[in-house]
Structures are given as structure tokens and as C-alpha cells.
Chain A
């Protein structure tokens, strides 16, 4: 039983990371109908920037916040320069462009910071917490808190600010939004910026666990895909819940199903994606998009 609770908690902790990245994917999908295959790599890149800032002598939280700022600007710039020219192109073209971004980020990170694994500091105390015999890693608990805090901020932003409302409107109905004076192009760029921020949070939270290297986010991204698919690409709340579910399932399956262990982790994610797509392609909370043909 103790093991079970422990696995669930660490599942929730990794789930929080998947949730952040899945949320980034969903934000971009909702605004522009694109799945950003480079999301994980952008997050990895941001994490490297944070690492460099810490190495340059900045305290952790200062580096953390400046990285979020840099990630936001980076996301906006990428949308403006790279995505905008192909905005109205067929899906294949946009997928290709994001794949191009993926390999560019990956190789430039390897170029600048080499492929050697680097330890990444955790802002939380080393000492684990103990509640009746069950030991929780402080980093796990901290991760969950950070994720929940980020989610709360996003919720408040989209629910209670005029800018959040404008962004939702632009994603939901670009033409009408433009008619009431919302600058749809700007909103899309903002969406990319915010998505880059969520990705950066995910990257900086997962790096202490996995150690920093250019292929840091490959595995996280496939789970984020699974989370977004499970929750539904059209539902931000669903993607978050999907992230937590995927994290817990991953940990429990790894612990209790002996023939899978940790060696077939990606296959579990693949199986989840395919099963969800076959049984309920819109995900748990997604809505069917009705298209006129």
C-alpha cells in the first residue's frame, strides 16, 4: 500500500510535467490547428538557457523567471518569423516546418552545450518528507505545487483578463474577432509565447530528475502527446487532467506490470495514443469538430 501511494504521488509529479507540455501543445493547437512537434525541443532549449544563467551566477529563482521571459519572447519571435509565412498552408507543410524547428533546436543545443549530460539543480530541499512510513521526494511535491500554481495563473488569466478573453476569441472565431477589433495575428503570436513559457516550466522541472541533455524532452513529449490525446486536443483542462492520468498510469504500470518495467515506457505511451484515437478520437473532454465539406 505504501508503495502504491508513493508511486501515485511520483506519478502525479511527472504527470504535472506532462500536463504543462500538453497544455502548451493544446494552446497552439486551439489557436492555429497545428500540433507543434518542436514544443519539447523548445522547452529543452529554454532549460539550457536557465542552466547557463545559473552557471553565470544568478540565483535559481531569478534564472527561472528570466528564462520564462526569454522563452516568451522566443516563442513570439518564432511564430512571427517561421510559422506565420506558412499559416494558411496545408497541414503537411506546417508539420514539416515544426519538424524542421525540432531538428534545428536539437542540433544547435548539441552544438552550443555539447551532448554531455549536465546536472540541473532543483530549487527544493534535498530532505524528503515523511508521513507515516511513506517517503515523498521534496522535488516531487515541489513539482506538483509549481504545476498547480502555473495552472491557476493560466486559469485566472484566461478567465478574468480582457487579454485572455481576446485570445480565446481569436482562437475560437478569428473572423468575427477581427471584426470586433481584436488583432488576431498578435493573439496567435502571444499564444506561441505562452506555450513556450509552459514548455520552459516543464523543462526546468523535469531536468533535475532526468539530467540535462539535448534529448531531454523526447520521452516527455511523447507522453505529452498521449496526455493531450487522452484529454482531447480541444480542451485545455482535459489535457491537464490527461497529463496527470498518464503520469500515474505510467508509474503504476512500470511498477506492477513486470514484463513492461521501464524498458517499454514509450510503447505504453504509443499504445495509449492509439487506443484513445481508436475508441474516442476526440479524447475524454474534447468536442467533435464539425466540418463543412
Chain B
């Protein structure tokens, strides 16, 4: 994971190319699942920015996912706006809402922020049902999947797969750039030592609200994509368990890691599918056991575990420090 820039770029390019061949070898259903993985990965990256890199809690990111999904669905359903245009609008809307939610959240330390966001997650389905005129109440909104443009010989599932993949690559690239730059350093500095960061002239209040906004925007875009891919939105699919699912993906993938978002997304998409064969209740029992198990054994998640193995194998200098959930700065350069 910590190779030189050139081989890493080649590796990433190979991965993207491999992802591009999937539509021609997998069934439509599998393809749909992979689109869902990319969507989760975008949402989890948003959560990672907030929790992993900036050290703020959110147990309520499902709320922003819901806002993105509904914004996109209402725009497509009511005003016939193309799905492509709804993505940036949903992103900007969530950026604003997230920024505004982040402002009062500034005053809330750790646990209180967790409480506030957790109640937000619980309240969202009710709020969605309440504004029935816009959201279609508990019936939700049924959409149709878009066809591929320019007469491309692709079916809707294949086309949507490419769209989600493109958005994923774009947002991950933006995210990596954001974290590598001046802003990224500031974000991590606030997490590591709030007071020292302020003493260095970083406007912690502004940055924290901004990160909340950016994180919400990522999750909102993911929600907007999901509205197109699933072609249906309903209030009860955005319950508190969605927020917990995203958080579980984030923890299992690796909190302060960009690649971790993809591992986490793969986990939350495919593990429940397998577990469902055991019992309807099994996926959550397994999620819970994995969550607690990872907290004990692999607090840096899958990405952290891979990095650790890689460092051991190449005998590099980096060693994990302590059993903290939030890795120190040495671990955050993926």
C-alpha cells in the first residue's frame, strides 16, 4: 500500500480497468450488487473523512444518505431532471445541510455528538413520512432506471455500473487530493491535538464544520446514486440501521484510510447476503460480532491490517502505536 507513486498509479489503473471488465462477465444482479458496493464505498469514504481523519463522531450519516436519495428522486420524479444533474445538486444540498448541522455540533464533544447524530438517525424515517406531499409518504417514490445514452450497447444496469464507478473514481481522487494537501494536514492536526492545531493558526471551528459538510456531501451523492440504481426510495430503508451499517463498514474497512472504504463496502454488501441463508436475523448478529471483534483485535480495520502485513513483509519503519481506534498520523497516508 505504501509503494512508490508510479507503481501505485499503475496498480490503481489496473484495478479500475479490471472493474471496467466486470459488466461483460457478471450477471445483471451481481453487477447491481457491485454498483451498490461502490455507492457504499463513497458513503463510507465520507464517514471516514469525518470520523477517521477529523475525529468527529457521526452515528447518523444515514440521514444525509436519505437526503441525497430523496433530493435526487424528487428532482427526477417531479421535474424530470436528468439523473446526472441530480448528483451535484444532492451533493451541494448535503454540503449545506451538513455544514449547518456541523455548526451546533462544534459545541458537542465526543459522546454528545454521538447522541445527537444517533437521534437524528432515529428521527429521519418519521420526518420523511411526514412530508408526504413531497416524499410520497411510506409508499416512497418509484423511479425508472435510465438507459445508456448515445446508443451505447449497454443495458441500464451495465450503464449505471459505469456511472457509479466513474463517480467513485472521481470522488476518491478528490478525497485523496483533499487529504494530501494543506487542508488534509489541518483536518488531521485537529483530530490529533485540537489545542495545538489552533495554536498553529488553524481555524478549528471552520474546518470541523466544513469537514462535516464535505462528509455529508459524499454521503449525499452516494444516496443520490442509490436512488437511480435501486430505482426506488422509501423512508424505512433509511432507518437507524443504515447509519449503523455505514459505521460498521467504516470501522471494518479501516477508519482513517481511503482504501478501507472499499473493503468496508464489500463487507457490508456481501456478508449479509451470505448470512441471510442462516437466518433472517443472522446478518446483524454477525455484524455485531465482527464489530466488537475488530475493535478488540484489528482496531485499524482491514486496510490497517493489510498495511501492517505489508510493513512487516518489507521491514519498513512504521509500527502501530497502542490500541487506539483512530490511528496516528503515520498511518493515514494511503
Bound-complex Cα distance A278 to B112 (A): 11
On whether the beta carbons of B195 and A293 are closer than 8 Å, the reply is yes
State whether the Cβ of B169 lies closer than 8 Å to any Cβ in chain A.
no
Of residues 74 to 129 in B, which have CB atoms within 8 Å of A's CB atoms? 104, 107-108, 110-112, 114-116, 118-120, 122-123, 126-127, 129
State whether the Cβ of B230 lies closer than 8 Å to any Cβ in chain A.
no
State whether the Cβ of B283 lies closer than 8 Å to any Cβ in chain A.
yes
On whether the beta carbons of B122 and A270 are closer than 8 Å, the reply is yes
On whether the beta carbons of B324 and A90 are closer than 8 Å, the reply is yes
On whether the beta carbons of A266 and B119 are closer than 8 Å, the reply is yes
Of residues 98 to 149 in A, which have CB atoms within 8 Å of B's CB atoms? 99-104, 106-108, 110-111, 115
State whether the Cβ of A91 lies closer than 8 Å to any Cβ in chain B.
yes
State whether the Cβ of B247 lies closer than 8 Å to any Cβ in chain A.
yes
On whether the beta carbons of A92 and B325 are closer than 8 Å, the reply is yes
State whether the Cβ of B202 lies closer than 8 Å to any Cβ in chain A.
no
In the bound complex, residues from chain B placing their C-beta under 8 Å from that of A101 are 288, 292
**Chain A interface mostly helix, strand, loop or mixed?**
helix
| Chain A proximity mask over B294-334: 1 for CB below 8 Å, otherwise 0 | 01100100000000000000000000000111100000000
On whether the beta carbons of B296 and A107 are closer than 8 Å, the reply is no
Nearest B residue to A88, CB-CB: B323
State whether the Cβ of B281 lies closer than 8 Å to any Cβ in chain A.
yes
State whether the Cβ of B160 lies closer than 8 Å to any Cβ in chain A.
no
In the bound complex, residues from chain B placing their C-beta under 8 Å from that of A111 are 279-282, 285
Range class of the B interface residue count: 35 or more
Bound-complex Cα distance A107 to B287 (A): 10
Of residues 15 to 62 in B, which have CB atoms within 8 Å of A's CB atoms? 51, 57, 59
State whether the Cβ of A153 lies closer than 8 Å to any Cβ in chain B.
no
In the bound complex, residues from chain A placing their C-beta under 8 Å from that of B205 are none
Residue among A85, A91, A270 making CB contact with B123, cutoff 8 Å: A270
Bound-complex Cα distance A91 to B129 (A): 34
Nearest A residue to B283, CB-CB: A107
In the bound complex, residues from chain A placing their C-beta under 8 Å from that of B14 are none
List 15 additional A-B contacts (Cβ < 8 Å) besides A89-B295, A91-B114, A264-B126: A35-B114, A35-B115, A82-B292, A90-B326, A92-B51, A96-B292, A96-B295, A99-B59, A99-B244, A100-B289, A104-B292, A218-B240, A264-B130, A274-B116, A281-B107
